[in-house]
Amino acid sequence: MILEQGEIFTYDVHMSDSEFEWVSKKDKANAKKHVVSFSEAKTAFFDETAMVIHDP
């Protein structure tokens, strides 16, 4: 599907059954580089008010 500029496409995503796992060393490196841990980043997947914007 190709969206024209300004068009909005909505859909539901249910992440409640998802599980996340990561390597501790990589988590520490990511936190140092991006100032966010994997445990904090995963909260974005459970944000019921999140908005996904098409970015071609």
pLDDT tens profile 16-52? 677 888 889 999 998 999 999 998 988 887 777 877 7
Number of domains within the chain: 1
The residue ranking higher by pLDDT, 8 or 22, is: 22
Residue 1 confidence class, pLDDT cut points 50, 70, 90: low
Distance CA 29, CA 23 (A): 10
User: What is this structure's pTM?
Assistant: 0.52
Range of the domain at 37: 1-56
Token couple for 34: 């991006």
Contact 28, 40 (CB under 8 A): no
